[in-house]
Structure 1
Amino acid sequence: MTIDASTSFPSPRRRAGARKRRRMALFAVVALVLAGAVALILNAFRDTLVFFRTPSEIAERGEAPGARLRLGGLVKQGSVTHDGTTTHFVVTDMKSDLPVTFTGLLPDLFREGQGVVAEGALGQDGVFKADSVLAKHDENYMPKDVADRLKAQGEWRPDAGGAKPK
């Protein structure tokens, strides 16, 4: 009985080629999984990368009612009214105004004419319904992004209100 070695056992070259193909297939699967994970992470961060939008940006973009976002600007002078635990005020960027309603306790440092960032959603009636409000931390502070956007719009007046960006 004669055994032909070429048909019984794969040659060393054939084994090396099969290993290479398996390694490349494994590499391709790992690369696809990593690419998918990166795509999901970037998609999740897409909405949170913008810290806030000004009233002008919200008006220009035509934000859909109910969409969660952050609103930043100045609390308009003479706009704050209280109705029990609900506070109504207007956020302005000196170009556009947006009325805001907030129910709850405002930060102790919340005042008219000062920088504010409110988180919430735009209502069907065009009023921003805030569920949290962040205010300045001392009398000379305005969020840098708010000051930069006011400067870009040509509305920055450091002598008005005494606010200086940090």
Structure 2
Amino acid sequence: MHPARKQRLILVIFLVVFSSAAVGFITYAMRNNMDYFYAPSAFAAGEVPFDKRIRAGGCVLPGSVKRAPDSLDVRFAITDGKAELQVLFDKILPDLFAEGEAAVVTGRLLQDGTLRADQVLAKHDENYTPPEVAESMHDKASCAGGAKI
């Protein structure tokens, strides 16, 4: 083998080994910051680990939101259509949070099967229209032929 070719081969092997080690170290360092996502049916099936930080998502079950009268504590259920998951939250809920809307919660699963959330994200549709534009469109549509938007 030619010496120049041998040097290139050693360099390539070194780069592959070094980059593989770097990816391994980065993954190892980030393992505590990874939040795994589970659907409520995975909770019902017992596939979710206890006492680890996890994410769950689904639709907020209509009629399930119960607020404590003397604190910020809220209890609600999210569902994926197959199973329900009870969620406890003790902070201020996002403005877009509502029954029948999608939500993603981050927290820890308790032994009784309830998720103790430390973060609630309310999902919204991507068809947002500012109120002024919606009003303008509504006025134009009602003038054009009586149709409502």
| TM-score normalised by length of structure 1 | 0.61
**What are the residue-to-residue correspondences of 1:2-41 with 2, within 5 Å?**
21-40=6-25
* Distance across 1 between alignment mates of 2:57 and 2:32: 16
Q: Does 1:109 align with 2:96?
A: yes
Determine helix, strand or coil for the equivalent of 1:133.
strand
User: Which segment is superposed worse, 109-118 or 27-36?
Assistant: 27-36
Match of 2:37 among 36, 39, 52: 52
Determine helix, strand or coil for the equivalent of 1:52.
strand
User: Percent identical across equivalent pairs?
Assistant: 39
CA RMSD of aligned residues (A): 3.3
Larger Rg: 1
Corresponding residue of 1:100: 87
Match of 2:61 among 63, 66, 76: 76
* Distance across 1 between alignment mates of 2:29 and 2:121: 24
One-letter amino acid matched to 2:105 = A
Describe the superposition over 1:72-91 as per-residue Cα deviations: whole angstroms up to 9, x where unpaired. 11111211111211111011
State the Cα distance separating 1:47 from its structure 2 match.
9.5
Q: In 1, are the aligned partners of 2:39 and 2:56 still within 8 Å (CA)?
A: yes
User: Which segment is superposed worse, 129-138 or 42-51?
Assistant: 42-51
One-letter amino acid matched to 1:127 = T
Describe the superposition over 1:120-158 as per-residue Cα deviations: whole angstroms up to 9, x where unpaired. 1211221101111111336x89xxxxxxxxxxxxxxxxx
State the Cα distance separating 1:44 from its structure 2 match.
7.2
**Cα distance change on mapping 1:73 and 1:103 into 2, 3 Å:** same
* Distance across 1 between alignment mates of 2:19 and 2:7: 18
In the comparison of the two structures, how many residue pairs are matched?
Answer: 125
Q: In 1, are the aligned partners of 2:51 and 2:109 still within 8 Å (CA)?
A: yes
State the Cα distance separating 1:43 from its structure 2 match.
6.7
**Cα distance change on mapping 1:51 and 1:114 into 2, 3 Å:** farther
* Distance across 2 between alignment mates of 1:123 and 1:49: 19
Corresponding residue of 1:159: none
Unaligned runs of 5+ in 1: 1-15, 142-166
